[in-house]
C-alpha cells in the first residue's frame, strides 16, 4: 500500500515513510492509494473473531510489508489491551465506550499504535525523533502516555491556555522525562498553525528529525477504524443497521469510520456531532466551506475552527457533495444543550455522559426524531471524570475518580508558557534534550 499527498505535488510513499514524515513535503495530508475491500464472510462472521483478529484484518493492508506480521501482531495486541463495550442507554441509543484505556480517552488507540510503529521504524536510527503535536484536549495526554519513555523519541505538546480541562492538563504536563508541554496563549488553531509552520521550516527540518502525532499522521488516523468494527460486532440486531454519531472536532475519528464504511463495514448513516464550532454543519447545509476562528466550549476537544481531516473526507467521496450528504449528516450543539443532555440522560437513564458524548447523544437523538424506527450508537470518547468540573454541578454529585486519575491529581505541572510566536517555538525545539 502506497500513500499520496492530497496536494498532489509529492511522490507516493510507503506506510513507513508516511508515518515518519507525518505530512507530505508539499504540505498535504497522506491518503491511501487504494481502499481495501473486506471479504463478505469476514463481515458476516465478525462475532467469531477476537478484537485483535479484527484489527489485524483491517490494518494489515494499510501497513503492507513495512512491518513483519509477528511484530504487527504484537503492536496490535499492546494497542488493544483494554475493553470497548457497547452499553445500552435506552431502547434507541447505545454508547460505545472508548474511554477504558490508560488516559481514559478514545485517542489512546491511535497514540499507542503510532508510538509502537514509530519505535519499530526508528529502532536503528542514530538521530533522535522529535514528535511535535498540538492538542485541543485528549490528544496530548494520549500521545504523552503512548510515547512516554520510548528511547530515541522526544515529544513536544502544544496546548491552548485555559482551554483544556484540569485533568487533561495534568495528563500532558506531569510526566516529564521525554515529554515536554508548552502552554500557548491562544486557541487550538493557533497551536496547530505553529506545528504546521514547524513542518514547513526547511532549516529546522534539516536539524531535527521532526514528525507529527496529530490525526494528520496516518498511523494515528487509520487505527481509529477499529472502533467501528467493534461497534458492529456487538450490535444486537444486524438486520437493522445503526446510525453512528461521532463527536467531531478535527474529524479524524469520523473520517476513519467513513473509511471503514467504504471498505464494506455496513452502517446505515453517519452523524458528525459538532459543538458551536459549526463549520461542517454549515457546509453540509449550504455547500460553502468557511473555516472560522475556534470558539471555546465545554466540549473542548472539539474546539476546532478549521478541521484538518475534512479534506480526507472530501477525497473519500471524490469531492461529490451530494454523495457525501447521502452518507453524512451534521449538527451543531450548544453548551446549554450539552449540559441539559448530561442532566437528562443521567436522571432518566442513570448513564453519565461526558460533554463530548453529550454532543454526540443529542445529535443522534435529533436525527432519530426525524427517522422513526431507527436506532443508533454514540461514540463516548472520554471518561466523564476528565470533565468533573463541568459534569458534577449538573448531576449534583461527585464522579468516582479512577486510580489512573487519582495518581496524577497531586502531581506538579511541568510546562513552558509561550505566546503565539513561531520564533520562540523554534528556539525551544532546537534546545538540547536530556
Measuring CA to CA, which residue among 134, 147, 133 is closest to residue 210?
A: 133
Instruction: Note whether 271 and 366 are within 8 A (CB).
Output: no
Cell numbers found for residue 414: 511541568
* CB atoms near residue 24 (< 10 Å): 25
Measuring CA to CA, which residue among 283, 306, 312 is closest to residue 293?
A: 306
Query: Residue 115: in which H helix or E strand, if any?
Result: helix 107-121
In sequence order, which residues have a C-beta less than 8 Å from that of residue 111 and are 6 or more positions away? Answer: 139, 142, 143, 145, 146, 147, 213, 220
Cell numbers found for residue 93: 441509543
Instruction: Note whether 211 and 20 are within 8 A (CB).
Output: yes
CA separation for the pair 296, 163 (Å, rounded): 7
Ramachandran class of 378: left when φ > 0, alpha when ψ lies in -120 to 50, beta otherwise: beta
Pairing type for strands 13-14 and 30-32 reads: unpaired
CA separation for the pair 22, 203 (Å, rounded): 17
Query: What backbone phi and psi angles, to 5 degrees, belong to 44?
Result: -65, -30
From 107, 163, 365, 375, the catalytic residue: 107
Q: What is the 3-state secondary structure (H, E, C) of 266-314?
A: CCCEEEEEECCCCHHHHHHHHCCCCCCCCCCCCCHHHCCCCCCCHHHHH
CA 423 to chain CA mean position, Å: 28
Q: Is 107 known to be catalytic?
A: yes
Query: What backbone phi and psi angles, to 5 degrees, belong to 152?
Result: 80, 5
Cell numbers found for residue 406: 487519582
Measuring CA to CA, which residue among 105, 307, 104, 119 is closest to residue 216?
A: 307
Q: Which residue has the cell 477499529?
A: 226
- Give catalytic residue positions: 107
Amino acid at each position: 500500500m502506497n500513500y499520496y499527498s492530497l496536494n498532489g505535488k509529492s511522490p507516493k510513499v510507503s506506510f513507513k515513510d508516511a508515518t515518519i514524515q507525518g505530512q507530505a513535503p508539499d504540505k498535504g495530508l497522506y491518503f491511501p492509494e487504494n481502499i481495501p475491500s473486506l471479504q463478505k464472510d469476514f463481515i458476516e462472521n465478525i462475532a467469531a473473531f477476537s478484537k485483535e483478529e479484527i484489527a489485524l484484518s483491517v490494518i494489515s493492508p494499510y501497513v503492507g510489508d513495512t512491518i513483519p506480521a509477528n511484530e504487527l501482531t504484537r503492536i496490535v495486541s499492546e494497542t488493544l489491551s483494554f475493553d470497548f463495550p457497547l452499553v445500552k442507554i435506552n431502547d434507541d441509543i447505545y454508547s460505545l465506550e472508548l474511554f477504558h484505556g490508560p488516559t481514559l480517552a478514545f485517542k489512546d488507540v491511535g497514540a499507542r499504535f503510532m508510538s509502537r510503529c514509530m519505535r519499530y521504524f526508528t529502532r536503528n536510527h542514530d538521530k533522535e525523533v522529535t514528535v511535535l503535536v498540538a492538542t485541543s484536549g485528549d490528544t496530548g495526554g494520549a500521545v504523552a502516555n503512548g510515547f512516554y519513555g520510548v528511547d530515541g523519541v522526544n515529544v513536544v505538546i502544544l496546548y491552548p491556555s485555559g482551554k483544556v480541562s484540569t485533568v487533561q492538563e495534568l495528563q500532558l504536563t506531569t510526566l516529564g522525562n521525554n515529554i515536554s508541554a508548552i502552554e500557548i496563549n491562544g486557541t487550538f488553531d493557533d497551536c496547530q498553525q505553529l506545528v504546521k509552520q514547524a513542518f514547513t521550516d526547511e532549516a529546522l527540518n534539516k536539524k531535527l528529525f521532526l514528525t507529527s502525532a496529530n490525526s494528520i499522521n496516518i498511523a494515528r488516523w487509520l487505527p481509529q477504524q477499529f472502533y467501528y468494527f467493534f461497534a458492529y460486532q456487538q450490535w444486537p440486531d444486524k438486520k437493522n443497521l445503526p446510525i453512528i454519531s461521532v463527536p467531531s472536532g478535527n474529524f479524524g475519528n469520523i473520517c476513519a469510520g467513513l473509511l471503514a464504511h467504504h471498505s464494506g463495514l455496513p452502517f446505515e448513516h453517519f452523524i458528525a456531532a459538532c459543538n458551536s464550532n459549526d463549520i461542517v454543519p454549515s457546509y453540509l447545509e449550504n455547500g460553502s466551506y468557511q473555516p472560522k476562528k475556534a470558539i471555546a466550549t465545554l466540549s473542548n476537544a472539539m474546539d476546532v475552527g478549521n478541521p484538518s481531516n475534512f479534506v480526507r473526507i472530501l477525497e473519500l467521496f471524490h469531492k461529490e457533495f451530494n454523495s457525501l450528504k447521502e452518507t453524512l449528516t451534521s449538527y451543531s450543539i450548544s453548551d446549554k444543550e450539552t449540559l441539559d443532555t448530561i442532566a437528562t440522560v443521567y436522571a432518566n437513564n442513570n448513564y453519565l455522559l461526558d460533554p463530548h458524548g453529550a454532543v454526540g447523544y443529542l445529535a443522534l437523538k435529533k436525527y432519530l426524531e426525524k427517522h422513526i424506527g431507527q436506532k443508533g450508537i454514540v461514540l463516548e470518547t472520554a471518561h466523564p471524570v476528565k470533565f468533573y468540573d463541568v459534569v458534577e454541578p449538573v448531576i449534583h454529585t461527585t464522579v468516582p475518580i479512577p486510580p489512573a486519575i487519582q495518581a496524577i491529581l497531586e502531581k506538579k505541572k511541568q510546562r513552558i508558557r509561550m505566546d503565539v510566536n513561531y520564533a520562540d517555538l523554534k528556539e525551544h525545539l532546537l534546545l538540547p534534550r536530556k
